[in-house]
A and B are shown apart, each in its own frame.
Chain A
Amino acid sequence: MTDQTTNTLDEYRRDALLSHGELWLRYFELGGMSTALEVEAFLYEALEPSPHDRDLIAHALNERFVELGGNHPVRYADDVSRERDT
């Protein structure tokens, strides 16, 4: 579930100026095992990624934001579940 104050993963992808293909390649580079179509489904929240997949995508996006001179805006699975608990 996404709360109102947070972007969806696909919104982050657009902010990071990455195509779906490039983001998938970066995810794959980090060791991701899901296909490009599955990753797209995670981004659009049509499928729920495993915590590990969520972290791989978040990290791929965060590394990109660092390249662009930013920080790490995308939360990891731990952060998301911690917020849900509180």
Chain B
Amino acid sequence: MNLDDRPPGFGVGARFEGDQAVLDVRGEVDVLSVPTLAVLFDAVVTSGYPSVVLDLCDMESIDAAGLAVIAGAASTLIASGGRLTIRSPSTLVAQVLDINWLSGLISWEFPAPDPDRLGPEQVSPAPATPLGAASPDVAAFDLRAVASVPANRDVVDSALQLVVALARATVGGADGASVTLRRRGRLATVAASDQTVLEMDADQYATGEGPCVDASIAGRWFHAESLDQETRWPAFTPKARALGISAILSSPLLAGDRPVGALNIYSRTATAFAAKEQELAAVFATEASNILNHAGLEVTDDQLTDRLQGALRTREIIAEAQGVIMERQDIGEKEAFDVMRRSSRSSDRPLRQEAIDVVDSTHRHRLNLDRRPAGEIS
């Protein structure tokens, strides 16, 4: 059975794009379906994504319970310095949320007037909530950790710290070094040789430009030979100059072939990094990538999206199978789950597989009915 060929009804999908989590809601959001939305929303918000987009394009209806979930999620998100954007709200949704205090804090993206053409993204700027007003570290857990094998992040960070120290000591002309990683959809410095380097990395994240940002995103080398002549990063370069930095070499860190961060080496001397230094930096970048890959810690947006989408599909199929069993055996929801749980236990097969078989059997049953000659009564 193809799980994607499923009858329309309530459903929610999740995908991750950079620092943004997008939840697509379809069908009817009512008292029956709202807990799924609420718990998924909670997972995304508490895992520290600063920006959540709720796409209501395929939503058919929403009741008071659904609106309460949106309002609750918006306030949690805003309290932690984040932002909620509602894409394609119906007039009703917009009106209801507009009359309370949330109206000024939610961003809206209305569909473009011409349905054949996509309009420009209408994202209003983030609310003037001071960053750091509430620590995003209150996160109950990191969603990003779910698609990876367990590993001790502290051990990994210590190993990276060692790579940074070695790079600084070994690469000629290096005055500082750091490792940037994309965690929770945001770039962050996980190891740095000193405070100046930390500040310089932070300046790059804040301006959204610079060799470390570009290397982390594009997955290739960026070398600023002499910042005095540098024109690629107009917002960042003056800040680096002010800290006395003249040359930067950022080498990408890769998980498989996907960029997940960068190893950055800074120098106060222009043209400090010649071919030999670049070669050494590549060796350290490879070493850092190996540490990450071995630990299996770094999860890309695509992997996370796949994992969560898979979980949502499984959840739907289990709910559907539960419904079938409830009807067939005239029992309650919990009892129907127990039927599958017991059969999963005795067969040593995942419950998901039991559920697929149950749903499949109804499809076969339906097909058999369809094939029966006219007039035959089942």
Contact = CB atoms under 8 A, between A and B. Distances in A.
B341 A31 contact: no
A71 to B, nearest CB: 9
B234 to A, nearest CB: 40
| A contacts with B: majority SS | helix
A20 B142 CA distance: 9
A25 B142 CA distance: 11
A30 B348 CA distance: 16
B315 A31 contact: yes
A26 B311 CA distance: 7
Interface in A47-86: 51-52, 55, 59, 62-63, 66, 72, 76
Contacts of A33: 35-36, 39
A52 B336 CA distance: 11
Interface stretch (B42-50, B113-121, B222-230): B42-50
Contacts of B36: 33
Interface string A4-46: 0000000000000111111011101111111111001000000
B339 interface: no
A29 B311 contact: yes
22 contacts: A18-B150, A19-B145, A19-B146, A20-B140, A21-B141, A21-B143, A21-B144, A24-B141, A25-B308, A28-B40, A29-B311, A30-B314, A31-B337, A35-B42, A35-B43, A35-B140, A36-B43, A37-B46, A40-B141, A55-B337, A55-B338, A66-B348
Interface of A: 17-22, 24-26, 28-37, 40, 51-52, 55, 59, 62-63, 66, 72, 76
